[in-house]
Structure 1
Amino acid sequence: MFIETHLGRVAPGECDHLGHMNVQFYVSKVSDAAWHVMAFIGITPSFIRERRQAPAAVRQEIAYLRELRAGDLLRMDSGVVEASAKRLTFYHRLTNVESGQVAMTSKVYTVNMDLDARRSTPLDPAVLAAALERLLPESAL
């Protein structure tokens, strides 16, 4: 299931010399959205601090579909598309609120990391169960 993970607008300072939102700000919005979708399945900031584990991004695929300009209103919806013992894949969809057009999609592949040992570790069973229960259907992508 999708959840809203960002609601905002394109600030003039986020635009490049062509007048479009610069790619670094798309990635920044995805990074911020990741914290909300992780919390949705139980990986909250306190969980990370207490358990000393968190998903680490190892690969990201981005599709830029429509230009965004200063003042455009944005909504990011996110969800989990894959979940296994040590891996989660998150999907993000950034929409221009006024036009309803999807401007960008992103798939972020992660490996659950032990933050002290700096190596992969199994997901907490409750987190894995929540992720599997809330998987986005293929038809939603």
Structure 2
Amino acid sequence: MASPQPLSLHAEAVRPEWLDYNGHMNLAYYSLVCDHATDAVMDWLDLGRAYRERTGGSIFAVEAHLSYDRELIAGDAMRVESLLLEGGARKLRLFHRLLHDPSGEQAATNEVLLLHVDLSSRRVVPWPDDGLARIKALEAAHAALPRPPEVGRRVGAPRSR
């Protein structure tokens, strides 16, 4: 199951209603597309929608960082490549690279920290053993991949002289 390559599980196109007054995709929708990719990764790990319905466990995003690198306009096709950066007893950190398709140009990146939550108590709880095993297998497969330079970035602009 574990992939030694970034996961490529989600693709969609820019919808006209996602455009802002500048005629390009509004920043909120970059986040939405990456959130769709997170859902796809969680489904792939069998810790997504079906897992939530079976167990009452789910994920909450507690921190996210987006970088914007390329303008996207209505109709542009996008695909997302995802890396599992870190998995722990109760957490998961993912990195998504949003690509313009078919050019392959990076349009945005998203790093997100997720916590496993019991929806009945709304408290952070450990992953089930089988789920943690799948997380750890994918984390190990992705550990050998180069880390994108955007991982761990903080908000800021380069200083000009």
Common fold by TM > 0.5: yes
* Unpaired segments ≥5 residues, structure 2: 149-161
4+ residue segments displaced more than 3 Å: none
Please say if 1:49 is aligned against 2:56: no
Supply the RMSD in Å over aligned alpha carbons: 1.5
| Aligned-residue identity in percent | 29
Please say if 1:91 is aligned against 2:98: no
Which residue is 1:24 aligned to? 28
Which residue is 2:146 aligned to? 139
Q: For residues 84-115 of structure 1, give each alpha carbon's deviation from its aligned partner in whole angstroms, at most 9, with x where no partner exists.
A: 11111111111011321110110110111111
SS in 2 for 1:55: strand
Residues of 2 paired with 1:80 and 1:122: CA distance?
18
Q: Quick check: which has more Rg, 1 or 2?
A: 2
SS in 1 for 2:130: helix
SS in 2 for 1:6: strand
The match for 1:116 among 120, 125, 134 is 120
Question: Contact 2:82–2:95 (CA<8 Å) still a contact in 1?
Answer: yes
Moved more, 130-139 or 33-42: 130-139
Q: For residues 55-92 of structure 1, give each alpha carbon's deviation from its aligned partner in whole angstroms, at most 9, with x where no partner exists.
A: 21000011111111122211112231110111111111
Question: Contact 1:55–1:88 (CA<8 Å) still a contact in 2?
Answer: no
Question: Contact 1:88–1:111 (CA<8 Å) still a contact in 2?
Answer: yes
Residues of 2 paired with 1:85 and 1:101: CA distance?
35
How many residue pairs are counted as aligned between the two chains?
141
Superposition deviation, residue 26 in structure 1: 1.0
Question: Contact 2:48–2:58 (CA<8 Å) still a contact in 1?
Answer: no
SS in 2 for 1:139: coil
Give the TM-score taking structure 2 as reference length: 0.81
Question: Contact 1:59–1:108 (CA<8 Å) still a contact in 2?
Answer: yes
Q: For residues 20-39 of structure 1, give each alpha carbon's deviation from its aligned partner in whole angstroms, at most 9, with x where no partner exists.
A: 11012111112222111001
Question: Contact 1:72–1:98 (CA<8 Å) still a contact in 2?
Answer: no
Which structure shows the higher strand fraction? Answer: 1
Which residue is 1:102 aligned to? 106
Residues of 2 paired with 1:112 and 1:11: CA distance?
31
Residues of 1 paired with 2:136 and 2:95: CA distance?
14
Please say if 1:73 is aligned against 2:77: yes
* Unpaired segments ≥5 residues, structure 1: none
